[in-house]
Amino acid sequence: MKNKQNLHSVFENWSGEKTTQLIIIPQSGSYREYYRIIGDQKKAIGVYNEDIKENKAFLSFTKHFYSLGLPVPEVLSEHADGKTYLLSDLGDEALFDFLHKKRSQVGVFPGSAIKAYKDALIELPKFQILASQKLDYSVCYPRSAFDKQSMIWDLSYFKYYFLKLAKIPFDEQLLEDDFARFISFLLEADSNYFLYRDFQSKNIMMLDGKPHFIDYQGGRKGALQYDVASLLYDSKANIPADIKDILLDHYLAVLGNYIAFDKNKWLEFYRAFVLIRLMQAMGAYGFRGFYERKTQFLKSIPYALKQLDNIINSDLFPPGFPYMESVLRSLTSSKQLLKYRQEFNTLVPLQIDLLSFSYHKGLPVENHGHGGGFIFDCRGIHNPGRYERFANKNGKDKEVHEFLKTGGEADEFLNNSIQLVEQTIDKYLNREFKHLQIAFGCTGGQHRSVYCAEQMADILLEKYEDRVQINLIHRELEEIPS
């Protein structure tokens, strides 16, 4: 093939060496072809792309960023055809891969990944503000700014390639009316900065423990908020809500070193840019997944829907766009999309071991290695075990329930316990912890502790449904439920 001949030629002219290996690098969401080219002593990344205007934008931006000392690849050589060029090799590990590897080792969003994200956000304003000052915006492709037309394209992309292909019913005129109001609001944001456009974990390479940046060929003038939203609401990265808050605060602190801004106003626009970025991404999932039938993009849908759940059920949804909100809300309950959530959703529910035990026989052992959880002492509750009529009964029996409910003592204790537990469960779910142990102890492990464990199990299952999985264990009873 001619493109491979040109790759060999450009590499050999640059390196002075013959090509010994030409290794294809798998494509993701673009039509560009990437190769790792290896000679006797040197190696490089070769790129072939038919879109000459896109190449011109990427190469111009890269040379400008590199001249400023920003961590981007170096342009090593270009072929006269305008379709082939050579870049320095930044390795194989993207921030997404780094996160996935570290997460699989510890089971939560790791501190090392938080640091890597913070490092990336330290670099971001250098692109947005410093590099923007002498950037040649005339090479931007397809437009020089994230303007009204760009926003119309993104929202139409979402409407036609996601909503329609996913068979989501909607009133097109009502949705377009809200889209028009939404765009008008977005255009009020300060947009005199470089907008990276695809600032997400797969476009940040980890080289020697530091982030380096690629795939900004769609860059143009725009608002600061868009790129932050792109990184923190990157669906497959699945960043927990409290980590998003930490990273956003970190970015805003860094940003304050470059410009003065009204934080409250900045955040108002940020919430809106989160939405348009998420809708643009879902349009891409629809186009690549529903239309082109590339299954890997369908796997991103459950994560995007989880992001929508969090936005809609919090104070993050910007006011003033009721029909758009109702359409987005319908996605989270769509039967059509439920199959993708069931097929591809790999989110593991929080495993809760809920125990009852006797203090006479020792404290329960925490078997998962982190030593966390709760032990509640039920011995302050009036004890049914003092009475002969309850000798052969336990906390699952109706008669014991009625006794413990008398005066409300046991339920008051239980309600106070639940408030503490729910606060922790909410955090554990946000941080995607995998296990929590909760234990209730009493003198004999038969009545009060069993009652409290049973009641708490029912309450937690009712509130959290399939987000938790409860293993109910009554240690001192002969019958131990599976």
pLDDT digits 0-9 by tens, 228-263 = 999 999 988 989 888 999 999 999 999 999 999 999
Where is the domain boundary, 344, 376, 398? 344
CA proximity to 278, closest of 311, 318, 245: 311
Q: Which helix (H) or strand (E) holds 355?
A: strand 350-358
Burial tier of 158 (Cβ tally within 10 Å: 0-12, 13-18, 19+): buried
Question: Confidence band (pLDDT; 50, 70, 90) for 480?
Answer: very low
pTM of the predicted model, to two decimals? Answer: 0.74
Strand, coil or helix: 274 = helix
**Residues ≥6 apart with Cβ < 8 Å to 319:** none
Question: Do 224 and 285 belong together in one domain?
Answer: yes
Q: Are 221 and 316 found together in one domain? A: yes
- Mean pLDDT computed over 141-153: 97
446-468: average pLDDT: 88
Cα(159)–Cα(175) distance, integer angstroms: 9
Shared domain check, 413 and 298: no
Region 217-231: what's the mean pLDDT? 98
Does 462 lie in the same domain as 330?
Answer: no
For the residues 352-361, what does the mean pLDDT come to? 93
Residue with tokens 């779910």, as numbered in its chain: 429
pLDDT surpassing 60 at residue 169: yes
Of the chain, the percentage scoring pLDDT greater than 90 comes to 70
Give 275-328 pLDDT, tens digit per residue. 999 999 999 999 999 998 888 888 889 889 988 988 988 878 999 999 999 999
Residue 249 lies in a domain: yes
Residue 73 placed within a domain = yes
For residue 294, give the CATH number of its domain.
Answer: 3.90.1200.10
- pLDDT score of 407: 73
Give residue 24's domain range: 2-87
Mean pLDDT of the 73-86 span? 96
Residues 309, 412, single domain; the answer is: no
* Number of residues assigned to the chain: 482
Complete edge-to-edge strand list for the sheet that includes strand 75-78:
21-25, 33-38, 43-48, 84-87, 75-78
Q: Does 479 map to a domain? A: no
Apex CA 309: angle with CA 219 and CA 291, to 5°? Answer: 55
Q: Is 481 inside a domain boundary?
A: no
Indicate which CATH number applies to the domain containing 77.
3.30.200.20
- What would the mean pLDDT of 184-205 be, rounded to a whole number? 97
Residues 254, 259, 265, 269, Cα dihedral to 10°: -70
* Domain annotation covers residue 480: no
pLDDT of residue 241: 86
Chain-wide mean pLDDT for the chain? 91
pLDDT of residue 141: 93
The verdict on 268 and 290 lying in the same domain is yes
In 3D, which of 279, 293, 298 has the Cα closest to residue 338? 298
Give the pLDDT confidence score for residue 191 in this predicted structure: 97
482, part of any domain: no
Segment 448-476 shows an average pLDDT of 88
> Which conformational region is residue 195 in: left (phi greater than 0), alpha (psi within -120 to 50 degrees), or beta?
beta
Task: Please check whether residues 396 and 271 belong to one and the same domain.
Answer: no
Check pLDDT > 60 for residue 347: no
Number of structural domains the chain divides into = 3
DSSP state of 467: G
Which range is most confident: 210-219, 235-244, 391-400? 210-219
**Does residue 332 share a domain with residue 356?**
no
Q: Is residue 133 scored above 50 in pLDDT?
A: yes
Q: Which residues of 138-152 are buried (b: 16+ CB within 10 A; e: fewer)?
A: ebbbeebebbeebbe
Residue at a domain's end among 37, 59, 87: 87
Statement to judge: residues 70 and 133 lie in one domain? no
481 pLDDT more than 50:
no
Same domain, 80 and 106: no
In a domain, 340, yes or no: yes
Residue type for position 459: I
Domain end call among 71, 87, 103: 87
What percentage of the chain carries pLDDT values higher than 70? 94
Q: What string of DSSP letters covers 3-34? A: HHHHHHHHHHHHHSS---EEEEEPP-SSS-EE
Instruction: Answer yes or no: is 208 within a domain.
Output: yes
Residues 296 and 325 in one domain: yes
163 and 251 inside one domain:
yes
- Token representation of residue 51: 């879109």
